[in-house]
């Protein structure tokens, strides 16, 4: 029973980070009128950092100490996350939650490429025809989803939000693979605890210099409470779950499953904003994304490396 529970934990972690990141753009868009980008990023990451530090201090003291010893590596990673998180927040301020989530799915082929080059255990899955076809469907699906109706036709619209989200996709691919490599020698929760503390410090400085810290005072108890919940669920829980899952299941596989998040985001966002509706071409792209994800999951289930990776 204990062994079965241990083998199920990575898959439960997948559920946590997929749902957590599906909620992220909804939270960010919902709170954009209360905070400017710097202050919102600060309070969300600060909430995650506080929750993780308290947890690690009591439950993972030795692991936390070991993570602090690797502060140089984690500081470098935090600078990458700092740039990525700010670009992500600004992008959502300028587009819909659904579109923001969908564009970042192009990170999948980038993670696959990096994983193929760095991790031997990824080769069997990535070379599978199901995996390659599934990923191709996902890419085509993303293009379809970001087609927009103009005055004369339907076309792909490239704007500031799209460019920022493409930047997020590239930096996320590097972060995902870098995080998996680092998590092999550090506990995922302790690792992200230290990283989140560094990122929070960075956003504290940026809020003082470029942002407006008064937003944090004017937002009120209710909105600050929502920001805290957002930080705990979408940053603390989701990131730790992702690092745990990809350590056991692989970077490419976990990133591909993340392609499910946009549709969860879409369903939730429709309750709040009417402009989250998708036109027919976008819906068709969504179906391709779902089909691609199913192929990816199937390829992983049939992959010869499943048992060996689970025993690591």
Give the pLDDT confidence of 66-125 residue by residue, as tens digits.
999 999 999 999 999 999 999 999 999 998 898 888 778 777 667 766 776 776 666 666
| Lowest mean pLDDT segment, chosen from 214-218, 271-275, 305-309 | 305-309
Q: Exposed e or buried b for every residue in 36-60, given b needs 16+ CB within 10 A? A: bbbbbbbbbbbbbbbbbbebbeeeb
pLDDT tens-digit profile of 5-31? 557 888 899 999 999 999 999 999 999
Q: Exposed e or buried b for every residue in 182-199, given b needs 16+ CB within 10 A? A: bbeebbbbbbbbbbbbbb
The pLDDT assigned to 119 comes to 67
Contacts 24+ apart (CB under 8 A), 145-148: 145/99, 145/102, 145/262, 145/278, 145/282, 145/285, 145/286, 145/289, 146/99, 146/102, 146/103, 146/282, 146/285, 147/279, 147/281, 147/282, 147/285, 148/279
The pLDDT assigned to 297 comes to 63
**Residue 64: both structure tokens together:** 């936390």
Distance CA 271, CA 116 (A): 40
The pLDDT assigned to 241 comes to 95
The radius of gyration computed from the CA coordinates of the chain, to the nearest angstrom, equals 19
| Lowest mean pLDDT segment, chosen from 71-75, 169-173, 236-240, 276-280 | 276-280
The pLDDT assigned to 306 comes to 39
pLDDT tens-digit profile of 90-99? 999 998 898 8
**Which is more confident, 263 or 273?**
273
The pLDDT assigned to 7 comes to 73
Q: How many C-beta neighbours within 10 Å does residue 269 have?
A: 26
The pLDDT assigned to 151 comes to 67
The pLDDT assigned to 37 comes to 96
**Residue 74: both structure tokens together:** 């984690």
Question: Which residues form the domain of 130?
Answer: 2-310
Instruction: Note whether 243 and 9 are within 8 A (CB).
Output: no
Residue 184: φ, ψ to 5°: -70, -25
| Lowest mean pLDDT segment, chosen from 59-68, 97-106, 293-302 | 293-302
Residue 75's closest CA among 156, 227, 196, 183? 196
Residue 111's closest CA among 171, 185, 187, 166? 171
pLDDT tens-digit profile of 151-205? 677 777 667 887 898 899 889 888 888 887 888 889 999 999 999 999 999 999 9
Instruction: Note whether 265 and 97 are within 8 A (CB).
Output: yes
Helices (H), the chain: 2-31, 37-59, 61-69, 71-93, 97-103, 107-118, 123-126, 129-145, 160-183, 188-209, 214-218, 220-230, 238-249, 251-257, 261-269, 280-302, 306-310
Q: How confident is the model at residue 277 (pLDDT cuts 50, 70, 90)?
A: confident
The pLDDT assigned to 212 comes to 95
Distance CA 281, CA 264 (A): 18
pTM of the model: 0.85
Distance CA 71, CA 201 (A): 14
For the chain, how many structural domains are there in total? 1
């Amino acid at each position: 029973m204990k062994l079965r529970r241990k083998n199920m934990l990575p898959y439960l972690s997948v559920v946590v980070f997929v749902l957590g990141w599906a909620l992220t753009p909804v939270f960010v868009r919902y709170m954009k009128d209360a905070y400017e980008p710097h202050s919102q990023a600060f309070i969300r990451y600060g909430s995650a950092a506080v929750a993780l530090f308290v947890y690690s201090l009591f439950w993972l003291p030795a692991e936390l100490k070991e993570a602090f010893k690797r502060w140089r590596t984690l500081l470098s990673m935090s600078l990458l996350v700092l740039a990525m998180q700010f670009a992500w927040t600004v992008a959502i301020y300028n587009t819909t939650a659904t579109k923001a989530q969908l564009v970042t799915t192009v990170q999948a082929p980038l993670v696959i490429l990096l994983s193929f080059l760095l991790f031997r255990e990824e080769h069997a899955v990535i070379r599978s025809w199901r995996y390659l076809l599934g990923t191709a469907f996902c890419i085509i699906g993303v293009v379809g989803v970001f087609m927009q109706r103009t005055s004369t036709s339907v076309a792909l619209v490239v704007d500031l939000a799209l460019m920022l989200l493409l930047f997020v996709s590239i930096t996320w691919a590097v972060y995902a693979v870098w995080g998996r490599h680092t998590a092999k020698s550090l506990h995922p929760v302790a690792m992200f605890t230290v990283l989140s503390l560094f990122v929070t410090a960075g956003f504290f400085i940026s809020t003082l210099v470029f942002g407006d810290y008064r937003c944090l005072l004017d937002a009120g108890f209710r909105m600050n409470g929502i920001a805290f919940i957002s930080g705990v669920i979408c940053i603390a829980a989701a990131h730790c779950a992702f690092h745990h899952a990809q350590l056991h299941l692989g970077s490419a596989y976990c990133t591909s499953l993340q392609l499910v998040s946009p549709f969860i985001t879409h369903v939730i966002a429709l309750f709040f904003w009417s402009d989250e509706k998708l036109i027919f071409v976008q819906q068709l792209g969504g179906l391709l994304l779902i089909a691609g994800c199913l192929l990816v999951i199937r390829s992983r289930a049939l992959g010869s490396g499943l048992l060996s990776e689970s025993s690591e």
